[in-house]
A = this chain, B = another copy of it.
Amino acid sequence: MEHLFCKRVKKLKASEIREILKLTQRPEIISFAGGLPAPEMFPVEAYKQMAIKVLDEMGMEALQYSTTEGYDPLREKIAARMGNCGISAEKQDILITNGSQQGLDFTGKIFINPGDYVLCESPSYLGAINAFRAYECEFQEVDTDSDGMVMESLELAIQEHPKAKFIYVIPDFQNPSGRTWSKERRIKLVEIANRYNLVIIEDNPYGELRYEGEAIPAIKSFDTEGRVVYLGTFSKTFSPGLRIGWVCASPLLLNKYITVKQGADLQASSISQRELNAYLENYDFDAHIGSIINTYKKRRDLMLSEMDKTFPKAAVYEIPKGGLFAWVMLPEEIDAKEIMVTAVENKVAFVPGGSFFPNGGKENSMRLNFSNMPEEKIIEGIGRLGKILSELM
């Protein structure tokens, strides 16, 4: 029956991260793979109270079909929160999705014809690469430095691929590199997109988790022509198990996302949207994010200091000012996939960096998650990794 599969899925393979996650779910493994929040930070009791409240006050409505766009009071609250990163938005600019991953899938579905080039940071988020690849695109990776994407390289890439539709970026605490774009680069990116008539996909799952320095306004806050699509999520600040994210975009673009959502699964969960809305009404969400930041900052600091102690000097990293990940560059001749095999034998796991380069060929990096493991396991796990690396380098 395999001949019945269409072209787009013949190329698809299961996400390496998902496969690794399965491997690392064994309880004896200290896992820095995956991008899981710390479950002990989930507001379980508050969520229970809100589930009771919603089912008591609007149970029938919460279990019924509702509109594709999403629950209006939640859309309003999200629109208002967009002000935190400098974006002026209203309810009608917001579509509720099943996490921001669904926004990525819809982006592929809306823009990509087979053979189209997607312009992205090098490295970039594996989940986005897989979502776009399902629509048979090619990737043009654009160089990045510690201020974000290099704009001269971007212009060259656009000129090389004049039929590219959009530029996909994660400007805050990027997955996997942990890097954050400067304000100047953000402004420049919008200017370039305007000039070449391109769309920008701004994926911002981590922006609210900043551990030092001043927040930088979102790229969409500099959008003058309604060409930036902003993807947000509650997965890292509230709960990923709910699957609630959103798209914020101008009407011309958002309408396409809404139409695609209709065909894809009609709507996001009526009940989860109402529970989350009730939480935002009745609890101090910013204080909750503050407590997540406290915990993750400690874990980041601990991971970095343990790396300083145990990793060989040739393994280098930049300090991630927020988010969930540390990104470690190894000497060019080292293949992190091989290190991963030894690591799992030693009951510690990470994601080899090669997966984050859509065109491959760069195997000398490791992505380490610091949000999910408690402190004693960070010490133990980084120690084990340090030992493996020291024997190799």
Contacts and interface: CB of A to CB of B under 8 A. Distances in A.
Interface of A: 1-2, 4-9, 12-15, 18, 21-22, 34, 36-37, 39-40, 42, 44-45, 47-48, 51-52, 55-56, 59-68, 97-99, 101-102, 105, 109-113, 116, 127, 130-131, 133-135, 165-166, 197-199, 226-227, 235, 239-243, 252-253, 256, 258-260, 262-272
The residue among A15, A265, A266 with the most chain B CB atoms within 10 A of its own CB is A265
A35 to B, nearest CB: 8
A2 B64 CA distance: 35
A55 B47 contact: yes
A131 B240 CA distance: 26
Please tell me how many copies of the chain the complex holds: 2
15 contacts: A1-B252, A4-B111, A36-B65, A44-B60, A48-B51, A48-B56, A51-B52, A51-B55, A98-B98, A99-B266, A101-B265, A127-B266, A134-B263, A243-B267, A269-B272
Contacts of A101: 263-266
A1 B44 contact: no
B64 A199 contact: no
A111 B36 CA distance: 33
A231 to B, nearest CB: 12
Contacts of A134: 109, 260, 263
B8 A265 contact: no
Contact of A63 (B52, B239, B270): B239
A111 B12 CA distance: 13
A47 B64 contact: no
Contacts of A67: 18, 21-22
Given A109-B134, A134-B263, 13 more contacts: A1-B253, A4-B199, A14-B262, A15-B263, A36-B64, A39-B61, A40-B60, A65-B241, A97-B265, A101-B266, A134-B260, A241-B270, A243-B267
A44 B65 contact: no
Given A48-B55, A63-B47, A102 B1 contact: no
A65 B262 CA distance: 24
A61 B253 CA distance: 36
Given A47-B59, A63-B42, A252-B1, A12 B266 contact: no
A210 B72 CA distance: 36
A95 to B, nearest CB: 13
A2 B59 contact: no
A65 B199 CA distance: 30
Given A59-B42, A65-B36, A98-B98, A109 B14 contact: no
